[in-house]
Copies of this chain bind each other. A is one copy, B any other.
Amino acid sequence: MISATVPIRVRYAETDGMSVAYHANYLTWFEVARTQLLEDIGVTYRSLEEAGFLLPVVEANLRYLAPSRYDDRLEVLAKVVEPPRARIRIEYEVRRDGRLLTTGYTVHAFMSREGLPLKPPQIVQDAFAKAFAEAAKQEG
Protein backbone atom coordinates (compact mmCIF):
# COMPACT_ATOMS: atom_id res chain seq x y z
CA MET A 1 0.00 0.00 0.00
CA ILE A 2 1.23 3.49 -0.76
CA SER A 3 -0.26 6.66 0.65
CA ALA A 4 0.06 10.39 1.09
CA THR A 5 -1.49 12.81 3.54
CA VAL A 6 -2.17 16.50 3.01
CA PRO A 7 -3.37 19.14 5.45
CA ILE A 8 -6.54 20.98 4.49
CA ARG A 9 -7.88 24.02 6.33
CA VAL A 10 -11.58 24.53 5.64
CA ARG A 11 -12.18 27.78 3.77
CA TYR A 12 -15.19 29.98 4.37
CA ALA A 13 -15.97 29.63 0.66
CA GLU A 14 -16.32 25.90 1.26
CA THR A 15 -18.95 26.16 3.97
CA ASP A 16 -22.67 26.25 3.27
CA GLY A 17 -25.82 27.45 4.98
CA MET A 18 -25.56 24.59 7.49
CA SER A 19 -22.22 26.15 8.61
CA VAL A 20 -20.45 22.95 7.59
CA ALA A 21 -18.25 22.20 4.58
CA TYR A 22 -20.45 21.59 1.52
CA HIS A 23 -20.28 17.88 0.61
CA ALA A 24 -18.93 18.39 -2.93
CA ASN A 25 -15.73 19.97 -1.57
CA TYR A 26 -14.53 16.61 -0.27
CA LEU A 27 -14.04 15.54 -3.89
CA THR A 28 -11.76 18.54 -4.35
CA TRP A 29 -9.83 17.70 -1.19
CA PHE A 30 -9.48 14.13 -2.45
CA GLU A 31 -7.93 15.66 -5.58
CA VAL A 32 -5.39 17.57 -3.50
CA ALA A 33 -4.33 14.37 -1.70
CA ARG A 34 -4.24 12.45 -5.00
CA THR A 35 -2.00 15.09 -6.56
CA GLN A 36 0.39 14.70 -3.61
CA LEU A 37 0.41 10.91 -3.80
CA LEU A 38 1.26 11.00 -7.51
CA GLU A 39 3.97 13.60 -6.92
CA ASP A 40 5.44 11.52 -4.08
CA ILE A 41 5.98 8.55 -6.38
CA GLY A 42 7.51 10.79 -9.03
CA VAL A 43 4.62 11.31 -11.44
CA THR A 44 3.14 14.76 -11.46
CA TYR A 45 -0.32 15.04 -12.91
CA ARG A 46 0.93 18.11 -14.75
CA SER A 47 3.63 16.09 -16.53
CA LEU A 48 1.04 13.47 -17.49
CA GLU A 49 -1.12 16.14 -19.08
CA GLU A 50 1.83 17.60 -20.91
CA ALA A 51 2.54 14.10 -22.25
CA GLY A 52 -1.03 13.91 -23.57
CA PHE A 53 -2.56 11.74 -20.86
CA LEU A 54 -5.68 12.76 -19.03
CA LEU A 55 -6.76 10.87 -15.94
CA PRO A 56 -10.47 11.57 -15.56
CA VAL A 57 -12.58 10.26 -12.70
CA VAL A 58 -14.89 7.47 -13.86
CA GLU A 59 -16.40 6.68 -10.48
CA ALA A 60 -16.53 8.37 -7.10
CA ASN A 61 -17.97 7.36 -3.76
CA LEU A 62 -18.22 9.24 -0.48
CA ARG A 63 -19.48 8.39 2.99
CA TYR A 64 -20.00 11.29 5.35
CA LEU A 65 -19.72 10.25 8.99
CA ALA A 66 -19.42 13.65 10.63
CA PRO A 67 -19.26 17.23 9.35
CA SER A 68 -16.31 19.61 9.21
CA ARG A 69 -16.57 23.33 9.89
CA TYR A 70 -14.94 26.60 8.87
CA ASP A 71 -11.27 26.84 9.81
CA ASP A 72 -11.08 23.17 10.82
CA ARG A 73 -7.67 21.63 10.23
CA LEU A 74 -8.21 18.36 8.43
CA GLU A 75 -5.90 15.58 7.33
CA VAL A 76 -6.77 14.00 4.01
CA LEU A 77 -5.18 10.64 3.29
CA ALA A 78 -5.05 9.11 -0.20
CA LYS A 79 -3.95 5.50 -0.58
CA VAL A 80 -3.57 3.00 -3.37
CA VAL A 81 -3.93 -0.58 -2.15
CA GLU A 82 -3.13 -2.48 -5.35
CA PRO A 83 -0.84 -1.56 -8.24
CA PRO A 84 -3.05 -0.06 -10.95
CA ARG A 85 -3.72 -1.85 -14.24
CA ALA A 86 -6.03 -0.25 -16.77
CA ARG A 87 -7.63 1.81 -14.03
CA ILE A 88 -6.40 3.39 -10.82
CA ARG A 89 -8.45 3.08 -7.67
CA ILE A 90 -7.61 5.51 -4.89
CA GLU A 91 -9.14 5.47 -1.41
CA TYR A 92 -9.47 8.43 0.93
CA GLU A 93 -9.90 9.17 4.61
CA VAL A 94 -10.58 12.61 6.03
CA ARG A 95 -9.76 13.15 9.70
CA ARG A 96 -9.84 15.95 12.27
CA ASP A 97 -7.76 15.36 15.40
CA GLY A 98 -7.66 11.68 14.53
CA ARG A 99 -11.44 11.36 14.23
CA LEU A 100 -12.60 9.89 10.92
CA LEU A 101 -15.08 12.28 9.25
CA THR A 102 -15.38 11.02 5.69
CA THR A 103 -14.24 8.06 3.61
CA GLY A 104 -14.40 7.56 -0.13
CA TYR A 105 -12.75 6.34 -3.26
CA THR A 106 -12.30 7.41 -6.84
CA VAL A 107 -11.55 5.30 -9.92
CA HIS A 108 -9.60 6.83 -12.80
CA ALA A 109 -8.96 5.83 -16.39
CA PHE A 110 -6.26 7.04 -18.74
CA MET A 111 -7.53 8.95 -21.73
CA SER A 112 -6.23 11.04 -24.59
CA ARG A 113 -7.20 14.68 -24.87
CA GLU A 114 -9.64 13.52 -27.58
CA GLY A 115 -11.38 11.22 -25.10
CA LEU A 116 -9.99 7.90 -26.31
CA PRO A 117 -9.05 5.27 -23.71
CA LEU A 118 -5.30 4.75 -23.35
CA LYS A 119 -3.09 2.18 -21.69
CA PRO A 120 -1.41 3.62 -18.56
CA PRO A 121 1.84 5.23 -19.68
CA GLN A 122 4.94 3.17 -18.91
CA ILE A 123 6.34 5.85 -16.56
CA VAL A 124 3.23 5.53 -14.40
CA GLN A 125 3.38 1.74 -14.32
CA ASP A 126 7.07 1.89 -13.43
CA ALA A 127 6.53 4.56 -10.78
CA PHE A 128 3.79 2.55 -9.07
CA ALA A 129 5.80 -0.70 -9.34
CA LYS A 130 8.80 0.98 -7.72
CA ALA A 131 6.68 2.61 -4.99
CA PHE A 132 4.95 -0.68 -4.16
CA ALA A 133 8.29 -2.51 -4.05
CA GLU A 134 9.67 0.08 -1.62
CA ALA A 135 6.54 -0.02 0.51
CA ALA A 136 6.77 -3.84 0.67
CA LYS A 137 10.40 -3.58 1.78
CA GLN A 138 9.54 -1.10 4.54
CA GLU A 139 6.63 -3.19 5.75
CA GLY A 140 9.14 -5.98 5.99
How many copies of this protein are present in the complex?
4
Task: Please report the C-alpha to C-alpha distance between residue A31 and residue B18 in the assembled complex, in whole angstroms.
Answer: 14
- With A11-B31, A13-B16, A25-B24 already in contact, the answer to whether A59 and B63 are too (CB < 8 A) is yes
Task: Please report the C-alpha to C-alpha distance between residue A32 and residue B12 in the assembled complex, in whole angstroms.
Answer: 8
Q: Does the CB pair B71–A45 fall under 8 Å?
A: yes
Q: Does the CB pair A35–B16 fall under 8 Å?
A: no
Interchain CB contact (< 8 A) of A56 among B18, B54, B60, B69:
B18
A residues 1-51 near B (Cβ < 8 Å) are 9, 11-13, 15-20, 22-25, 27-28, 31-32, 35, 44-46, 49
A residues 82-135 near B (Cβ < 8 Å) are 113, 115
What is the distance, in angstroms, from A85's C-beta to the closest C-beta of chain B? 19
Task: Please report the C-alpha to C-alpha distance between residue A51 and residue B126 in the assembled complex, in whole angstroms.
Answer: 39
5 shortest interchain CB distances as A-B pairs: A24-B27, A15-B17, A13-B28, A17-B19, A23-B57
A interface residues with partner B (beta carbon < 8 Å): 9, 11-13, 15-20, 22-25, 27-28, 31-32, 35, 44-46, 49, 54, 56-64, 66-67, 69-71, 113, 115
